[in-house]
Amino acid sequence: MQETWRWFGPADRIALSEIRQTGARGVVNALHEISYGEVWTVEAIETRKALIEADTSLGLTWEVVESLPVHERIKLGDGDLEPLFETYRQSLRHLAACGIRTVCYNFMPLLDWTRTELAAPVPGGGTSLRFNLHEYAAFDVFMLERPGAEEEVSPEVLTRARAWFDASDSADHDRLLAAIMAGLPGAYARYDVLGLREILKRYDGVTRDDVRANFVRFLEAVVPTAEAAGMRLCVHPDDPPRSLFGLPRIVSNAEDIAFVLDAVPSPSNGLTLCSGSLGANPANDVPAIARRFADKIHFAHLRNVAKDADGSFEEADHLAGDTDMVALVRVLMAEERSRRSEGRADWQIPMRPDHGHELLSDIGRGTHPGYPVVGRMRGLAELRGVMATIEALEGSAA
């Protein structure tokens, strides 16, 4: 697989030279400073691409866009959407003209990935990202005060949520809110409790079927343009794979993925296989999902989570969580061999090590939550070892 690394642009505390030191050569990037619904111009794309590739000794290239965001009105099906569809199509055309042809995106309403702790301690020091169901419930029921929220968790979780809230203070509330909002990079709206309560009203009465229909409408509008430009769109699964704050999430399991891919059949309508997002649902067999949709996987996020019985989970070491990472990598490499045997020039699947632990010199550095250098480099090294072993045992895809 092609080793890539997510970089948040010039504001990232991680330098491009450090990415090269990890061994990765492909960069996963986005123009986070551009707001929803605005065109990514050729000039803006070329400027970022030139920055990434300026030092030829590093050998870095911009390989994947993550993400080209979908405007909230599209998810809601709100009003005349053709101008927003055309903006998205134009951005796709501009990216293709600049030689960037893989675009990761998601269709999660309002929020991106969501955690309740950004610095859960790990043995020996360092921290990880964590989702505590009782803290989420405390926020939803007692801080957000969303009607009906208490009915969506078990009595046991609700009791723990009440105990947490009763023992908490304003600093705890601020920390929890900041954690929940942390998954939104760049020019994305962040909310306080009152603001989130207000914006959620836009989804009153919007059902799962409504969001699905709006997603299909989006795909019908943009996939033909992507296909004509030779681009690969790859939807990212919901993280976590469950509805949050009453918002329907519709890319959480194999059935959801099949619906999306079958809605608009095209080589350009594909999947970002995120092992951590899918792995947070105990019902998901991630290697089996990868096997089922292997020919539509255009990008892979490889990370692992360790789940608790109540639905909480924590980011684990890449090879130490609940997902059999060796089995998953084997599926992806087998798909690469199949593509190469067909003579495809794009047989490689770009892969990046996802959320890493904050370790050693990263502690206190202030990198984007979940995206330190050392923890991700450790994960990449472990994954590289798995790939090398599979190549040696089963034959090289190269």
The residues annotated with a catalytic role in the active site are 236, 274, 301, 354-355, 371
Instruction: Report the C-alpha gap between 17 and 52 in whole angstroms.
Output: 10
Instruction: Report the C-alpha gap between 292 and 290 in whole angstroms.
Output: 5
CA distances from residue 191 to 150, 172, 174, 240, 366 in whole angstroms, order as listed = 22, 16, 12, 19, 21
In DSSP terms, 49 is beta-bridged to: none
Specify whether the CB–CB gap between 183 and 129 falls below 8 A. Answer: no
* Closest C-alpha to 39, from 95, 77, 78: 95
Instruction: Report the C-alpha gap between 377 and 346 in whole angstroms.
Output: 25
| Cis preceding linkage at 67, omega within 30 | yes
Helix axes 254-263, 208-228, angle to 10 degrees: 50
Instruction: Report the C-alpha gap between 129 and 358 in whole angstroms.
Output: 9
Name the H helices within 99-192: 133-138, 155-167, 170-181
| Cis preceding linkage at 240, omega within 30 | yes
Dihedral angle over CA of 161, 368, 350, 250, nearest 10: 30
